[in-house]
Amino acid sequence: MAIRNLRYDGDEILKKKSREVEVVDEKVQTLIDDMIETMHKYNGVGLAAVQVGVLKRIVVIDLYDDNGPIVLINPVILKTKGEQEVDEGCLSFPNQFAKVKRPAEVTAEYIDREGKRIRVKAKELLAQAICHEIDHLNGEVFMDKIIPGTLEYIEPEKEL
């Protein structure tokens, strides 16, 4: 496993649409492991492959609960319900946070790392994370969706 380099605001790749994964092979498994390790290193809730420079429809999400990381390959949102206004940040936009409107619930379908087709009904933070990461796969970033006037820059803590 390895920590991958994150891509940041201004990197053209973040505006590109990711391609479907045709085969879940060893190379894809290694990418998934690296993405999980990278997400954990930077304390992220989610990470899309494009954020480490790979245009593949792969997302990892960890709510830091007892379920561990979730791997979503070729995820698709089938339906949404309701709306929630949430605080959001992004590993590609360090120390920047804003309010965004997201669905309160989503039903999504994806392939897990074993190749099984999964359908999930997600609420609250998981719904938010799925929407945020699928946006990345479509070349969209949360900055495109922020509620005007809510963007904040939080100064990082200095290490002693």
Is-contact 35 4, C-beta < 8 A? yes
pLDDT in tens, 103-148: 999 999 999 999 999 999 999 999 999 999 999 999 999 999 999 9
pLDDT confidence band for 158 (50 / 70 / 90): confident
pLDDT confidence band for 21 (50 / 70 / 90): very high
pLDDT of residue 160: 64
Length of the chain: 160
pLDDT in tens, 30-89: 999 999 999 999 999 999 999 999 999 999 999 999 989 999 999 999 999 999 999 999
Q: Which two tokens stand for residue 79?
A: 């339906």
- Catalytic residues, by residue number, are 133
Q: Which two tokens stand for residue 40?
A: 């954990």
Model pTM?
A: 0.95
CATH code for the domain defined by 12-153: 3.90.45.10
